[in-house]
């Protein structure tokens, strides 16, 4: 009987410890999930820190480039690539094939892609936008008198990439640009509303 009592006490203790461990795990898991993303990236970064090959040589030879996984370009692409539900893109101009490739990859995984651009993105160099259109991605362009000058991307309605950064090769390798990445709910919600408003008023192209 004494052995049974001791065994019961030990079992109760083990259950209590196990429960405490589980509750601690849940606490820190929720805490990690609730941690807000706030990151700032600047461009340009030294080409050799962005690409594993000579970018200029490959560019003019029409070859592909290999992006360093720890570069700022890879970080921006990574946020888009990790989308689970949707990617809403609102840019003045979009010509960089690396970003076109990541959107195509997302689309093939069933991610909902929507793109708003200024018409200059079609008039000056529309290859990437037209490629997306041919694959069935809905694209809309401004119809107001002035430019659609935004540069922001919303991922899963919960992560915002916003700044001066158009999706162009010059923005990656030449211009002084910035990208602010945040999951602040209040900030993201404002941009979700702005995208919805622009999506309604702009023309399908």
Mean pLDDT of 164-180: 95
- The residue among 120, 194, 111 whose CA lies nearest residue 152 is 194
pLDDT reported for residue 59: 46
pLDDT reported for residue 1: 57
For residue 195, pLDDT over 80 is answered with: yes
Q: Which of 156, 185, 186, 200 is catalytic?
A: 156
Alpha carbon distance 130, 122 (integer Å): 8
Q: Please say if 54 is a catalytic residue.
A: no
Residues 6+ apart with CB under 8 A from 69: none
CATH of domain 36-204: 3.30.870.10
pLDDT reported for residue 190: 98
Residue-wise pLDDT for 121-139, tens only, equals: 776 667 899 999 999 999 9
- Percentage above 70 pLDDT, the chain: 73
Distances (CA, A) of 92 to 15, 82, 119: 59, 23, 8
Q: Which of 151, 185, 197, 202 is catalytic?
A: 151
Q: Please say if 151 is a catalytic residue.
A: yes
Positive or negative torsion for Cα 79, 80, 85, 91: positive
By the 8 A CB rule, do 187 and 154 touch? Answer: no
Lookup: tokens for 177: 């640009």
pLDDT tier at 2 (50, 70, 90 boundaries)?
low
Q: Which of 10, 49, 84, 149 is catalytic?
A: 149
Q: Which residues pair with 162 in a beta bridge?
A: 152, 180
Supply the pTM of this predicted model: 0.78
pLDDT tier at 6 (50, 70, 90 boundaries)?
low
């Amino acid at each position: 009987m004494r052995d049974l009592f001791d065994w019961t006490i030990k079992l109760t203790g083990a259950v209590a410890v196990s429960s405490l461990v589980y509750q601690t795990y849940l606490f820190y898991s929720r805490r990690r999930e609730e941690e807000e993303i706030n990151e700032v990236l600047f461009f340009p970064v030294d080409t050799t820190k962005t690409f594993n090959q000579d970018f200029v040589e490959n560019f003019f030879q029409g070859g592909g480039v290999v992006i360093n996984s720890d570069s700022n370009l890879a970080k921006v692409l990574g946020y888009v690539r990790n989308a689970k539900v949707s990617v809403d893109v609102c840019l003045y101009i979009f010509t960089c094939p690396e970003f076109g490739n990541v959107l195509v990859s997302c689309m093939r995984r069933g991610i909902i892609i929507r793109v708003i651009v200024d018409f200059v993105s079609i008039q000056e160099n529309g290859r990437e936008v037209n490629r997306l259109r041919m694959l069935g991605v809905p694209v809309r362009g401004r119809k107001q008198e002035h430019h659609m000058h935004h540069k922001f991307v919303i991922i899963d309605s919960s992560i915002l990439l916003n700044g001066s950064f158009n999706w162009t090769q010059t923005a990656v390798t030449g211009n002084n640009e910035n990208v602010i990445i945040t999951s602040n709910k209040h900030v993201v919600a404002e941009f979700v509303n702005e995208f919805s408003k622009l999506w309604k008023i702009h023309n399908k192209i």
